[in-house]
Structure 1
Amino acid sequence: MNASRTMRPLPRAQCGSVMVLIVVALAAILLMAALALDGSHMLVNKTRLQNAVDAAALSGAKTLQQVMGSGNADSLAQDAARATFQLNAQAAGNDELAAALGEDPASLVQVDLAASVYGPFSFPGPTDARYVRVSVTQLPLTGFFWGLLQVFGNSSEKAVAAAATAGPSPTSPCNIAPLMVCGNPAQHQPDAGLFWGYRFGDLEVLKGSAGNAPAIGPGNFQLIRLGDSSGGADVREALAGGVEQCNSVGETVETEPGNTIGPVAQGFNTRFGQYSGALSNSGDRYPPDLITDYSAPRMTYNNSTAQVEYEGEVVNASDGNLSTASSALLDYNDWRQRVADCPNGCRSDGVFERRILKIVLGDCSGSSGGQVSVPVLGFGCFFLVQPLPTGAGNEAQIFGQFVSECEGDNVPDSNPVDDGGPQIIQLYKTYIDNNRTPSSDS
């Protein structure tokens, strides 16, 4: 080969081919940059939007649980959900969310209610609605290279969507009262509103007094031991809400014999903002309920007729209402309506549901006197109608109205609620139809 031979220049046609390859490569690089930048931007904002709707759904469901039964529960839940969404939109980094929301959350945030986690959802929803769905169908975003993607056939606008569903789930309580009422294992039909023999609004004696016929056997006044706690001091703290003991259905509880009048009243009455004895200065530890009013004089128990009376007349309970032949009494329905109007008329130092006790429902069949073990059937929520007098052993009854559900304080179940008792609000998968088809936006 001739070493002096020189390289021939490339033909002009080949130079043009290289230019085409360079242009294609640059276009591919730009397209990848567009996908990376706009895709990451969408992913970040999808996460932020999902967090906002999750929080809004939880807030709406929690509010619905608190105001259920009031005349405007649906609108209160909707307002709470949108207010929570707006607070999240105002957080650092959520500028695009805040800009899209503007001054009118209703234009972006849809809030619907349903009686089942599977729907159908609507607003205002059914009267027995317990689940809240919050959805944003389109949050428009800034398009950095989005126009370039549209050149390659993408005709959609740059936007993200999100949906979240929240509602109650059953839970076994931890902050439980040291009390037990006897349930009937043969009378448990939640779909028919019957829970171990109790129906909504029933007025029950949650703790007996001297002279009452004991349901568990001689010497018992419906007090139980929580864990290693025993004696009057522990009963006082437990009734005030200072002892945590997680119980489950199928376990047993030990009864605590004795009337324990003074400690019971001292712990119990903190829920009404009345402090005495060893709990005289315990308002910070044991705050009162939001509403502490009750009918005066107090209701009493007629041992000869086994009936609750008010000023000598029998107290009747009907669908959450309490009354005698001549007067209406302050009851659970009154409390519920007033709580729904908080903070108007509510105690500034009050806490929600301090007047609701979570109580063991036990199978008392075969129980005898003294300290005995009683199987746990379930847990009931009872509204406390009045505080206890102090020092009168024959007037130491605790009266409560049975309510089908209340606020829980333990780990939620994986399934939606289908029973009564303590419940906790949690997020669920969002479904788009009655066939339980999961939504791609949740």
Structure 2
Amino acid sequence: MLRVIRTFWRDQRGIALILVSIMLPAIIGLSLLAIDMSRMNNLHNDLQQGADALALAAAAELNGRSDAWTRAENALTNLVANDATFSDAGIVALTTGSGATTVDPTYPACRLKGQVWWCFLKDIPASDATVIVPSTGVDVNGVDHKAANATETRFILVRVQPETFTSMFPVFVSSSGNSTDTSYNVSAVSVAGFTSGVCDFTPVFICNPYENDPDGHTLEEAVSNPALHRRLIELRKVGNGAAAGPGNFGFLEPPEGVGNGAQALAQTIATSKPLGCYSAQGVSTKTGQNAGPVQDAFNVRFGIRASGSHFNSPEYGPAANVRKGAVTGGNGNGGGNQCPQYNQLTFGTPNMGLPRDQTTPYMNGRMGAGDYLLLGVGHYWSVNFGSASYPSSWDTTTPTRYDVYRYEIAHGLVGTASAGGEVGTPPSACQPPVTSVDRRLIYGAILNCNALEAENNDLSGHSTNLPVEAFGSFFLTEPVSSASDDASVFVELVDITGRGGQGTLDNFLRDEAQLYR
């Protein structure tokens, strides 16, 4: 009997069953906990990815134009369709649905539709840890970030409505901090913004001529209002003590590999194939350079030969229309037998280029009133084209000089000789005309120079990360008359990117939406 008891005591068969029985509750509990955590993680991932996709789709429409909010809402409704699973409701469509948009009159920038809250923001806090309330656009520190209108909107905050999740594990640590709470909500928030840049742009910046305009006009109005659009602007180079105020221009840092000298900078301005890309988030200025080669860089566009052997290849060819009110030896642009330098040209009667404004009441005499003389005996049209027809609308509304220039090209008037024998066709001895781009246009970043200098930025030196008000195109109305640093460049504003723009610069734009948090 004693032997049987000893044998039983030493027998270990079946002990695993005992251990499993003891551990079974813990094994089941941990399994349920792992399943709950996986479900919660998958639910949050679904919601976060849906919020990110919605935010990116809407942010791509925030280009500063007046209809940006409408287009952003259309993008939220029509461009993105995502589902979330593992919530108590099963498969949930993360969409704005088909109902009406809820807009609180107190917070018109913040809206709710379907499963989605969104709020249009003018800026975001520096720290990602600073939470913005989606329904008000105000952060936890009381700072208001919501935009007043579509024009100033730069970001969008998207929050998908919380989904209820009930755990299977009887005791679960939830975000509420209550260890016995097995039912709680999961949501996701995403903030995306619109970034803009341009490529194939010349490395030039131009001080916004409408910054702090005494008459209250804005850059956007100047592009859309013909009375402002045709004003002639006299640009002068920043540097040598000249302040970077409205009406001045300077140079941006050229792209890598171009070189650092004055001649390398001039090449990037003169070429018809610039390589530079610049971001609206910030550009860098280049230390002031000798203006001599830069005069040549502008003037090759008029069929004027640069000094030495510079710019002597097809990419530096002139515009298709180089009429400028000058002749060489009475042969009209050299009669095709020479490509003249500037000092070989004769300007004035009986020749006439696009005239300047009669009065210059703005910007300390550096901006005209748009009152140049186009029609009538002895004025631009009669001197250059005699009785040739022109649009009847010009009799009542003076067009921009750029419109006149384009009309000459479109209606075959470039080769018509003026009273003084000038034609707009470039001399055949110059490089062939460039037709892939309009060589009479220059492109540049428009900066609010007064504000930037007030922040101690040296725009005649090397300053970095300067915000761009817009990128613009400007029409060169006449050649640059001097190689000195105080020489003037006469231009008309043609178009700008983004808000208020006419879309002619869209080919240069490199717009993209990106997630910020």
Question: Highest Rg: 1 or 2?
Answer: 2
Question: What TM-score do you get using the length of structure 1 for normalisation?
Answer: 0.49
Structure with the bigger RCO (C-alpha within 8 Å, sep 6+) is: 1
